[in-house]
Amino acid sequence: MPSMEQSTIVKICGLTNLEDARVVVEAGADLLGFIFYAKSSRYVAPEAAATIVRTLRADGTSLPRVVGVFVNASVAEIQSIVAQVGLDFVQLHGNETTEWFAPLGGRAFKAAGPADAAAAQTQAAQFAPLGCAAGPSLMIDAYDPQAYGGTGKKADWHVAADLARQYPGLLLAGGLTPANVAAAIDLVQPWGVDVNSGVEAAPGRKDHAKVRQFVQTVRQTKII
């Protein structure tokens, strides 16, 4: 559970363009998320993401840490994109096993969308100890048997709250919006929150007012 001195980490995911990325940085997010899954409506090519990151750094911006989201990509492909873009963390959002973690050098964490509390406990016990020492240990997303995130469905907050008490570094995703994120933090007490569709104008395009409102709401929400 976060301490009174630690604010909840904010990850804004699904970035596809420089304009949105600049707004996210200016709003004060802690993590920028780029999706390298070609079937996603928020897919961004590695070279485009690299240009965005490079441009922000050239601007002298104090850049948040950068997360790459992958779905069943090979370790070799992930390693290549990590180097190309300059990723700090790797989010494994598919059916990856524990074998993916060691070659990624402590950068990886698993995104889980458990069907129920029992599945959540099993996945957390398996993957959270392998997560990032200085970042997320595990993401809990909404359950969907046919989609790998980005659905706008809400995760089970009660299940997530149980896990957050057991595993430091839990990142809560799934259906978060500026309107409900304060309630989510109050109940779950996560290390961080992740938003994608909840701050969009359209898939892959952010609503800048919602981005600013989401970050501001998180910052104003007290951690118990």
- Confidence at residue 153, expressed as pLDDT on a 0 to 100 scale: 63
157 falls within a domain: yes
- 146, two tokens: 């046919």
- 197, two tokens: 């569709």
Confidence at 3, pLDDT banded by 50, 70, 90: very low
For residue 55, pLDDT over 80 is answered with: yes
The active-site residue out of 13, 132, 156, 194 is 13
- Confidence at residue 222, expressed as pLDDT on a 0 to 100 scale: 79
Confidence at 114, pLDDT banded by 50, 70, 90: confident
Query: Count of domains in the chain?
Result: 1
Please give the Cα distance from 218 to 216 (Å, whole number). 5
146 falls within a domain: yes
58 falls within a domain: yes
100 falls within a domain: yes
- Cα-flanking dihedrals φ and ψ of residue 62, to 5°? -75, 90
Is the Cβ–Cβ distance between 82 and 105 less than 8 Å?
no
Residue 74 belongs to domain spanning:
9-220
Q: State the average pLDDT over residues 71-91.
A: 97
How many other C-beta atoms can be found within 10 angstroms of the C-beta atom of residue 155?
24
Please give the Cα distance from 63 to 44 (Å, whole number). 19
Please give the Cα distance from 127 to 137 (Å, whole number). 8
- Confidence at residue 72, expressed as pLDDT on a 0 to 100 scale: 96
Please give the Cα distance from 10 to 27 (Å, whole number). 10
pLDDT digits (tens, 9 = 90+) for 131-181: 998 899 999 998 554 544 444 567 889 999 999 999 999 999 999 999 999
Please give the Cα distance from 5 to 47 (Å, whole number). 38
The active-site residue out of 20, 141, 156, 194 is 141
How many other C-beta atoms can be found within 10 angstroms of the C-beta atom of residue 139?
30
Which 3 state secondary structure label does DSSP give 133? coil
Q: State the average pLDDT over residues 22-44.
A: 96
198 falls within a domain: yes
pLDDT more than 70, % of the chain: 92
141 counts as catalytic:
yes
pLDDT more than 90, % of the chain: 82
Chain centroid offset of residue 157 CA: 16
16 falls within a domain: yes
pLDDT digits (tens, 9 = 90+) for 171-222: 999 999 999 999 999 999 999 999 999 999 999 999 999 999 999 999 999 7
2 falls within a domain: no
Cα-based angle 48, 150, 136 (whole degrees, multiple of 5)? 80
Q: 190 forms bridges with which residues in the sheet? A: none
195 falls within a domain: yes
For residue 109, pLDDT over 80 is answered with: yes
Which 3 state secondary structure label does DSSP give 9? strand
Is the Cβ–Cβ distance between 199 and 211 less than 8 Å?
yes
194 counts as catalytic:
no
CATH code at position 98: 3.20.20.70
For residue 35, pLDDT over 90 is answered with: yes
